[in-house]
Structure 1
Amino acid sequence: MRIPESVRIAGVEYPVCWVPGLNDGKNVLCGQILFEYPIIELAIPCNCETPVENDYDKITLIHEILHGIIRHYGIECESEEKEEYLVEKLSCGLFQVLADNEERLFGTETQSG
């Protein structure tokens, strides 16, 4: 898996941008999805001048994509805390499934069936 320049969620194109010192005015963030622009922002760590893609960044991207799916498809959660918990667990699990099965899922082999 690699971090693309953009992802499409429910027909909406979200550019993926790297932001140094990403925060929401109160908290330092690893990533965020902004629906009103639309854009997905990923943090460049304070000690780096440029992004260095790693597994944590990929999990963060999946995390933000899942928030986008929840919003675009009207999935209701009991609270923001419950949504965050669910998205956190699903993003880690989905990343691992994709990493462990990348060739099976996205390989160029043709399968007959």
Structure 2
Amino acid sequence: MLQQVALVLTVVTVVTCLAYLARSVFAGRVFGPGNSRLVGTAGIVGLVGFAVVPFFGNMGANAAFAQISDGTFDNVVMAIQPFPFILAAFAVALITTVFVVGERLQRDAEGLV
């Protein structure tokens, strides 16, 4: 059950952050502190959810096997591919950095005009 709750919370949080970001961009405010926080929040929650959901699924499967076998079957193996996490973390860091630098450039440019 934790797997499904984590999945729903991850999806709802990421979609909500990205919807607020899209609304702000459509209003003409691309770079700002709020948008930088929205991008960072969506990225971090997405990464954590991407890691936690399979972990909770594995926990549920292990609990089911333990119930079926009356505790005699111990399946504790969980394979993790680190490359997708590293790639996603790089993309999140890059996008967040772009928004923070854009925010700083916009702030500096407003003082010139």
TM-score by length of 2: 0.28
Report which of the two structures shows the higher radius of gyration computed on alpha carbons. Answer: 2
Question: Which structure shows the bigger proportion of residues in strand conformation?
Answer: 1
TM-score by length of 1: 0.28
Greater RCO, CA 8 A, separation 6+: 2
